[in-house]
Amino acid sequence: MFYVQNYLFQYPRGTLFSSCLQLKSMKTLLLSIAILSINGLEGFSQEKFILEGIEVIELENSIFTDDKYWRGADGAATIDLGDNRILWLFGDTFIDIEGTGKRSNSTLIRNSIAIQNGVDIENPTIHYFTGGSGEEPKDFFEIPGNTWFWIGHGVLVNTKLIIFLFELERTNEGFGFQSIGWYMVIVNNPSEDPMSWDIEYLKGPEPANILAGSSAVLKDNRYIYAFGVEEPGTHEVYLIRFSIDQLLKGSFSSMAWWVRNQWVSNWGEAPENAVLFEGQTEFSVHYQKEIEQYIQVQTFGFGKAKVGYRLASQLQGPWSDPVIFYEPNLEDHQEFVYSANAHPELSEDGIIITYNVNNFDFGKLVNNESIYFPRFIKLKF
């Protein structure tokens, strides 16, 4: 594996160069009393939400755009690795092996990661990693075969790192791909350089259409909790629990579903009456101390989607109706918004959230360097 930085790849492996990139506030949108309509959002009734005293601040994303080799990706989930280190997890990624800073000169791989040093977004340093070599970059997470992984979420447990992946294959229908199941990886030495990570791959059990950990993963002293989404399908969301001790041994035997106010072991198919809400394949959940609630962040709708949240006093719910608080600006009618995630690991007065803008026209995606880098907003209650 190799890391991507602002120098030529010909430097010896293990040579580390920093790239200090600053995030600056660009624009503040004060929604003191805003009434936003979500007419037409799939799966939701036509209703209005009144948002009082919510402030949304757009931030620069030069932490991503300034690198000459790493030229954009989607996904953008984060995990606290301790010692002021944050792991970024990305999906489809453009890598320019010549460092020209042009996406049109890039290779597309299916996933990549980055390590950010420092939790203050004002002065972070970040280093990007892929698999393969400088001359031929490959997916960071991969196994032999014709399928590939997109990265869900994960959590640091004791001295090991657990990350959930969902597996995909090509198809002649729809968007040209479909999910076929999920994996979990255990990184036995996450404190070391990612090029030296010792990674174990474990294939998740049935049902394959519920992608455990494709979105949020949390923990307490005994258990890991993974939100699972039905994909392909309705995007109905389930809550799945694993014993930490068993999971670290590579066993899924403790897998249980939250069903009708209790944990139920059920193998082979998703239990009935266990759906928490309709979500997206990617979203985040974390506990927000200021409001003493769990907050779930995602995009709502398809295409010209909006960013919103739900609240709950416990992971199992009940979850509130969605509150829509931000509509990203799109410059092309073929652009679309997706993969919103909150990042509580980042130290800031408010909740840092990323989302992504893509384009249905691949040519426009490749040539428009203003999109397909995760964009930052800050939400303040």
Please state the φ and ψ torsions of residue 352, each to the nearest 5 degrees: -85, 130
pLDDT in tens, 226-267: 999 998 778 999 999 999 999 999 999 999 999 989 999 976
Residue 356 to residues 62, 90, 188, 363, Cα–Cα distance (Å): 14, 11, 31, 17
The amino acid sitting at 340 is A
Asked whether the beta carbons of 110 and 124 are under 8 A apart, the reply is: no
Residue with tokens 């000169």: 105
Q: Give per-residue pLDDT as tens, 117-165.
A: 998 777 789 999 999 998 999 999 999 999 999 999 999 999 999 999 9
Going by pLDDT thresholds of 50, 70 and 90, the confidence category of residue 85 is: very high
Q: Up-side HSE of residue 103: CA atoms within 13 Å toward CB? A: 23
Domain for residue 66, yes or no? no
Q: Which tokens go with 367? A: 């040539």
Structural contact between residues 300 and 307, judged by C-beta atoms closer than 8 angstroms = yes
Residue 18 is assigned to a structural domain of this protein: no
Q: How confident is the model at residue 11 (pLDDT cuts 50, 70, 90)?
A: very low
Residue 34 CA to residue 53 CA, distance in Å, equals: 9
* Lookup: tokens for 19: 């790239």
Neighbour order of strands in the sheet with 375-380: 25-37, 48-59, 375-380, 351-359, 335-342
- The whole-model pTM stands at 0.86
Q: Per the domain annotation, does 243 fall within a domain? A: yes
227 occurs within a structural domain: yes
Lateral strand order in the sheet of 284-288: 284-288, 293-300, 306-312, 323-326
- Please give the pLDDT value at position 51: 56
Q: What are the φ and ψ backbone dihedral angles of 244, each rounded to 5 degrees?
A: -60, -45
Tokens of 287: 């506990």
List, for residues 201-221, the tens digit of each pLDDT value. Answer: 999 998 888 999 999 999 999
Pairing of strands 148-157, 137-138: unpaired
Whether residue 23 has pLDDT greater than 90: no
Calculate what percentage of the chain has a pLDDT beyond 90: 73
Nearest to 328 by CA among 374, 272, 294, 284: 374
Judge whether 295 lies within some domain: no
Backbone angles phi, psi at 245, to 5 degrees: -60, -45
Contact status, residue 170 vs residue 177, Cβ threshold 8 Å: yes
Range(s) of the domain holding residue 188: 141-282
pLDDT of 52 reads 61
The whole-angstrom separation of Cα 371 and Cα 237 is: 29
Q: Which residues contact 220 (CB under 8 A, 6 or more apart)?
A: none
Q: How many domains does the chain have?
A: 1
Q: Which residue has the tokens 């030229």?
A: 71
Q: Is residue 85 part of a domain?
A: no
pLDDT digits (tens, 9 = 90+) for 265-313: 976 777 888 999 999 999 999 999 989 999 999 999 999 999 999 999 9
Place 35 in a pLDDT band, splitting at 50, 70 and 90: very low
Is 354 domain-assigned? no
Q: Give the whole-angstrom CA distance, residue 72 versus residue 69.
A: 9
Contacts of 165 (CB under 8 A, 6+ apart): 141, 149, 150, 151, 152, 182, 183, 184, 185
Residues 262, 239: Cα–Cα separation, whole Å: 11
Per the prediction, the chain carries an average pLDDT of 85
Query: Considering the domain boundaries, does residue 178 fall inside one?
Result: yes
